[in-house]
Amino acid sequence: MSWIYLLIAGLFEIGWPLGLKLSQTMDSKVPGIALAVVSMTLSGVFLWLAQRTIPIGTAYAVWTGIGASGTFIVGVFLFKDAASLLQIVSVMLIIIGVVGLKIFH
């Protein structure tokens, strides 16, 4: 169950930079900032739940890895951010590292 909590925490970790970006692109800043605050809170709660049985270093690396790679992917697809081949390979390496931490836990 802790790994599910960690996955959820990582997904909410994507939500707060998304909310901040949306607040810059919408007429009203409130919905985007609200998304960011709710996502930050839920991300922290689910990380806390995951760390009950997953070592802190592993949990933190997976959490930030999901957040970083997911945010990069969201930026590319939703906001048309640039993505060079080396950036894509680098994000793939992050994902491989996260999967490795789960497999070898």
**Structural domains of the chain, count:** 1
Task: Give 17-62 pLDDT, tens digit per residue.
Answer: 999 999 999 999 999 999 999 999 999 999 999 999 999 999 999 9
Quick one: CA dihedral 34, 35, 38, 39, positive or negative? negative
| Residue range of the domain that includes 38 | 2-103
pLDDT at position 105 is 82
Confidence of residue 3 (pLDDT cuts 50, 70, 90): very high
